[in-house]
Amino acid sequence: MQKEKIFEQLTKQIDKCRTCRLCKTRNKAVPGEGNLKAEVVFIGEGPGYNEDLQGRPFVGRAGDLLEGLLRIIGARRNDIWIGNVVKCRPPENRNPMVDEIRSCKPYLIEQLRIINPKLIIPLGRFAFEHFFPAGKISRDHGKAFRIGERIVLPLYHPAAALRSEAVLQQLKNDFRKIPRLLHSDSEEIIAVTRHPKDENQMLLI
């Protein structure tokens, strides 16, 4: 089956998912959107107020900032794919709970398998932990990790950058690494290994 068709079916499944408690309070699930041929994907934490109403990722203030950052590197939303760790809004924008993240995890794994991007950019702690449970965003932001054919570049979440000028500057600096990572092998990239029991999880070494 075509990639687009498989993705569409997965999206429909997410739209009607009732696997965890977040389905009871959501307006719309937010499966993710963008270019299925993208070399770069961004993964956020979970939908906020605006995303929940529209069923689209990063359409609020954090989304505006993300679009501004993309412009710095000459990219637009259409060039990339954007998704989230949890597809439904946690009430009052609280942190997603461990069991909510666990039940949503297979969706993100499948989305990334289908898109097969070169560069994955987890935004913030929860997205980073999807790949590296022992990762620490304050320590590891802006470091590029190679996992097989892919590179993972954790960055601060744009919402954190909206609250702190220092984080915003750091995020801008880290963002400028994206084109280099896509187009050359010269960047210092840290090798990582897969988790022995869960091949979708990586271990920092």
The pair of three-digit structure tokens given for residue 42, joined into one six-digit string: 């961004």
Among 51, 52, 129, 140, binds ligand URA (CB under 6 A): 51
Q: How far is the CB of 63 from ligand URA (least distance, A)?
A: 6
Site for ligand URA in 159-188 (CB under 6 A): 159
Residue 141 DSSP code: T
CA atoms within 13 A on the CB side of 116: 5
Decide if residue 129 touches ligand URA (CB under 6 A).
Answer: no
Q: How far is the CB of 47 from ligand URA (least distance, A)?
A: 5
Instruction: Specify which residues 83 forms β-bridges with.
Output: 43
Could you report how far apart the first and last alpha carbons of the chain are, in Å? 38
Decide if residue 135 touches ligand URA (CB under 6 A).
Answer: no
Decide if residue 62 touches ligand URA (CB under 6 A).
Answer: yes
- Cα separation of 180 and 177, whole Å? 5
The pair of three-digit structure tokens given for residue 30, joined into one six-digit string: 């937010």
Q: Interface with ligand URA by CB under 6 A: which range of 3-11, 17-25, 47-55, 169-177? A: 47-55
The pair of three-digit structure tokens given for residue 26, joined into one six-digit string: 């959501």
CB 181 within 8 A of CB 144: yes
With respect to ligand URA, which residue has the nearer C-beta, 32 or 198? 32
Q: How far is the CB of 119 from ligand URA (least distance, A)?
A: 18
Q: How far is the CB of 193 from ligand URA (least distance, A)?
A: 27
Residue nearest to ligand URA (CB): 44
Taking alpha carbons only, the member of 39, 189, 185 closest to residue 112 is 39
Residues near ligand URA (CB under 6 A): 30, 44-48, 51, 57-58, 62, 84, 159
